[in-house]
Structure 1
Amino acid sequence: MASNTAMKTRLIVMNFLEFAVWGCYLVSMGIYLGSVNLGDHIFWFYTGQGLVSLFMPALIGIIADKWIPAQKMLSLCHGIAGIFMLLAGWYCWQSDGNVDFGTLFTFYTLSIAFFMPTIGLANSVAFNALNKAGLDTVTAFPPIRIFGTIGFICAELFVNFTNFQSTYAQFISSGVVSLILMIYALTMPNCPVNPSSGSSISETLGLSAFKLFKRRTMAVFFMFSMLLGVCLQITNSYGTMFIDSFQNIAEYAQTWGARNATALTAISQASEALCILLIPFCLKKFGIKGVMLTAMMAWVFRFGFFGIGNTGSGLVWIILSCVVYGVAFDFFNVAGGLFVDQQTDKKLRSSAQGLFMIMTNGIGASVGTFLAGTLVVNKHVDMSGMTSAAENLSGWQHSWFIFAAYALIISILFIFIFKAPKTSENISLAKAEDIDGGDPEGMAQ
């Protein structure tokens, strides 16, 4: 029991650092980019995050499954990501406000190219450690993962109250935390590798995880993961910038929310921390379909509440938007990661988590952020400052309502198309022999 407690503590520290790296810049970067006249390019930074997620998590996952233990890959990736993020901060510092989009975007993209795989790797390291300890991942992992959210919150509050949210220092902060995790990851339990026997090219390259698409349940699950992934980075891209814009409206200029956008959005992550604890109960009670549908509807309210909120009398709506974000994000990402882990043979664990990242943070988030920026926000909101603040507020409202309508349509389609077990106990642990088949045990029924 004591050894299990010690292991959980070690995993808690790992998750705290993992998401603190992200929290330093993910929701506040838009404020800084806007301050250096790169507001029209915000969507590119989040689209780039999605584009690298198309291949890097899967590639790194394959290497971790086949050749280099996951905990060592986690360390290596954080080392490279941290160095490039520090270079991004250094460039912004020496540019003295004249930031070139191409240069900053290059450093940033190289950093996130190695950071994005670490989310799946951290899951693999945690699942491996919990399994070795004889613990049930469905019940043991969420209370550990909650500290990742706490790490994200602490990083958000740090950059907010140091005013790093409007400077390049947020990149430097992220890089430093990443290098700390580079060292700490090497203390994690060893994860086994499974070198290919060379029986097929697919097995040699670690592409067997893609065989999950042969099973209807998993194919449909990944399809909707992609469609819901469209929503993932929209509020991260524009949420704080939207809230910060109320400083340009006399009625709201001196409100606390307008002046502390990053701290206000930290409520979203606080909600995440609480919602994670609900996942084991909800998975067992409602199954993966119920949990995913709840997440989809939460996205509807996430966007809709932003659309009717402000930092004055309408602050309650922005707060409610932040509260439902916990359900929207956790019930999708954490529960989805657990579902994929249960449906996948341990030999393919890292590859399958990488595949989940491809569909969500890769295809879904990159396409979603690109379209959100080019077809919606940049069409309705003037980033140049030539349009009045009141007109821009109307543009923001129209944008949020468009996003809410999209999430509602996906929710309705999901109800009729996706079929899955109703409780987590009925979720078959699909091992390697099942992956090559169709849909064993009638799971799609």
Structure 2
Amino acid sequence: MSIKFRLTLMNFLQFFIWGSWLISLNVYLDKTLHFTGGQIGSIYATMGVASLFMPALLGIVADKWINTERVFGICHILGGILLYKASTETTFNSLYPIMLLNTMVYMPTIALNNTVSYEVLEQKNFNIVKDFPPIRVWGTVGFIVAMWMVDLAGFNNSALQLYISSAASFLLGIYAFTMPSCKPKKSGERKTFISSLGLDAFVLFKKRKMVVFFIFAMFLGAALQITNTFGGAFLTDFGSQKIYADSFAVKHPGILISISQVSETLFILAIPFFLQKFGIKKVMLMSIFAWVLRFGLFGIGDPGTGLPLLILSMIVYGMAFDFFNISGSLFVEKETDIKIRASAQGLFMVMTNGIGAYLGGVISGWVVDQFTSNEVKDWRSIWFSFAAYALVLGIIFPLVFKYKHMPSAKEIGKAEAIEMTPH
């Protein structure tokens, strides 16, 4: 079995685990366990809490003491145990700490998966820039396959989705121990925990444009979490209306939402063109207004005659997510000193996937509860509220973010090489 195939399988399983529950768990929590919006938001916000420190902590463990593939495998075995346990809990107070622990061991594996892939490819004398993206894209495929499997099996509102994720996590955990050895680094510069968190990059807050950028990165990280947290519950809620009860969107919300992941993959390919033509600031602005469309189309769409609007919202998601994350990463790369560049990228991830994701989960849950009466949600008002939030960001951003940039051919090449995780 070739090493490329083995890495492809590893990447496939890595995101299959996540795709098994990320988009559909909210349906189960809402329809079966009858959690409030705030409770659902809090459970999804555990990913933000975990992203604040766990990737950095376990990254240091892998760098200094334990083989990376073993840390990776241990995390997934623990995740398998926690996901199985989560499937047996039915109250918020019992489920929340388990999901928090699960995200604490899962979120670091996203970076560890890349690290193992890079090191193994280097050991076998492959070109990482050329050979890793075709391997990594199978992670997105795994995410989509998991969504389809859960959807077609009718597990969107069942704890069985957690069984699937648990089984895949156990499998990957064991499989990880068969991968080539990725030993701790014995020489060279080692990042401290502070550097890994990006905290030594706080010197960047002395620059106004960096302050503005990181604040908006946090706000847009919150926007990303909103549809992860409530997209599935929104679609299945239409089932309470007889006219939509048997519609495709209600019966197969996971398949419909998976268009977002396909769109994400396609928009990654379009980024070099947009950066070359418009520059970083305008591409970021496009992302913000794409969020306005994403939420607004949800507000006016429905599973009947409004189905094309829902599909368009899924397509727009690719631009909303990719354009800010990739152009933002390039902005950080260009505007920071080489000595703190890695820390600055870490700070960027903390602001988006950490603080932003946490706020997005908690605040979106509060908003949903404000528009819920007798367990009936006013989804149009909910989505329009989120659209208004993104619109305010879109109006303010160009006024306060002063930056002119035309990308070089080298930077365009970097954009082409960046591979983002599916959401």
Fold equivalence (TM over 0.5): yes
Conservation of the 8 A alpha-carbon contact between 2:197 and 2:346: no
Q: What CA distance in whole angstroms lies between the structure 2 residues aligned with 1:344 and 1:179? A: 41
Q: Which runs of 5+ in 2 are unaligned?
A: 414-423
Tell me the amino acid that sits aligned with residue 399 of structure 1: I
Shift of 1:153: 0.7
Residue 36, structure 1, aligned to residue 28, structure 2: no
Q: What CA distance in whole angstroms lies between the structure 1 residues aligned with 2:319 and 2:186? A: 36
Please give the per-residue CA displacement for 1:142-172, whole angstroms capped at 9, x wherever unaligned.
5443322211110001001111111101111
Residue 423, structure 1, aligned to residue 420, structure 2: no
Report matched runs for 1:201-240 at 5 Å: 203=192, 206=195, 209-215=198-204, 216=207, 220-240=212-232
Shift of 1:140: 5.8
**Overall identity of the aligned pairs, in %:** 42
Q: Which runs of 5+ in 1 are unaligned?
A: 93-98, 430-445
Structure 1 residues 206 and 318: CA distance shift in structure 2, 3 A: same
Tell me the amino acid that sits aligned with residue 307 of structure 1: G
Q: What CA distance in whole angstroms lies between the structure 2 residues aligned with 1:381 and 1:311? A: 21
Q: What CA distance in whole angstroms lies between the structure 2 residues aligned with 1:420 and 1:122? A: 35
Q: What CA distance in whole angstroms lies between the structure 1 residues aligned with 2:332 and 2:119? A: 14
Q: What CA distance in whole angstroms lies between the structure 1 residues aligned with 2:11 and 2:408? A: 24
Conservation of the 8 A alpha-carbon contact between 2:18 and 2:143: yes
Q: What CA distance in whole angstroms lies between the structure 2 residues aligned with 1:345 and 1:124? A: 21
Conservation of the 8 A alpha-carbon contact between 1:78 and 1:181: yes
Q: Which residue of 2 aligns with 1:81?
A: 79
Please give the per-residue CA displacement for 1:60-82, whole angstroms capped at 9, x wherever unaligned.
23333444454433222222222
Shift of 1:218: 5.8
Tell me the amino acid that sits aligned with residue 419 of structure 1: Y
Q: Which residue of 2 aligns with 1:359?
A: 351
Conservation of the 8 A alpha-carbon contact between 2:64 and 2:185: yes
Tell me the amino acid that sits aligned with residue 10 of structure 2: M
Structure 1 residues 299 and 331: CA distance shift in structure 2, 3 A: same
Residue 118, structure 1, aligned to residue 118, structure 2: no
Q: Which residue of 1 aligns with 2:156?
A: 165
Q: What CA distance in whole angstroms lies between the structure 2 residues aligned with 1:333 and 1:129? A: 27
Report matched runs for 1:22-421 at 5 Å: 22-34=18-30, 35-40=32-37, 41-89=39-87, 91-92=88-89, 99-127=90-118, 133=125, 135=127, 137=129, 142-186=133-177, 187=179, 190=182, 193=185, 203=192, 206=195, 209-215=198-204, 216=207, 220-283=212-275, 286-333=278-325, 354-374=346-366, 376-382=367-373, 384-385=374-375, 387=376, 392=377, 395-416=378-399, 417=401, 419=403, 421=405
Q: What CA distance in whole angstroms lies between the structure 2 residues aligned with 1:100 and 1:154? A: 29
Structure 1 residues 150 and 283: CA distance shift in structure 2, 3 A: farther
Q: Which residue of 2 aligns with 1:439?
A: none
Q: What CA distance in whole angstroms lies between the structure 2 residues aligned with 1:209 and 1:160? A: 38
Conservation of the 8 A alpha-carbon contact between 1:23 and 1:151: yes
Please give the per-residue CA displacement for 1:275-310, whole angstroms capped at 9, x wherever unaligned.
233345545555544443332222111111101100
Tell me the amino acid that sits aligned with residue 387 of structure 2: A
TM-score normalized with structure 1 length: 0.79
Tell me the amino acid that sits aligned with residue 115 of structure 1: Y
SS in 2 for 1:313: coil
Shift of 1:205: 5.5
| Matching residue within 4, 18, 21 for 2:14 | 18
Tell me the amino acid that sits aligned with residue 158 of structure 2: T
In angstroms, what is the RMSD of aligned CA positions?
3.4
TM-score normalized with structure 2 length: 0.83
Structure 1 residues 73 and 28: CA distance shift in structure 2, 3 A: same
Q: What CA distance in whole angstroms lies between the structure 2 residues aligned with 1:75 and 1:344? A: 35
Conservation of the 8 A alpha-carbon contact between 2:276 and 2:412: no
Tell me the amino acid that sits aligned with residue 62 of structure 1: I
Q: What CA distance in whole angstroms lies between the structure 2 residues aligned with 1:361 and 1:181? A: 24
Tell me the amino acid that sits aligned with residue 394 of structure 2: S
Structure 1 residues 204 and 142: CA distance shift in structure 2, 3 A: closer
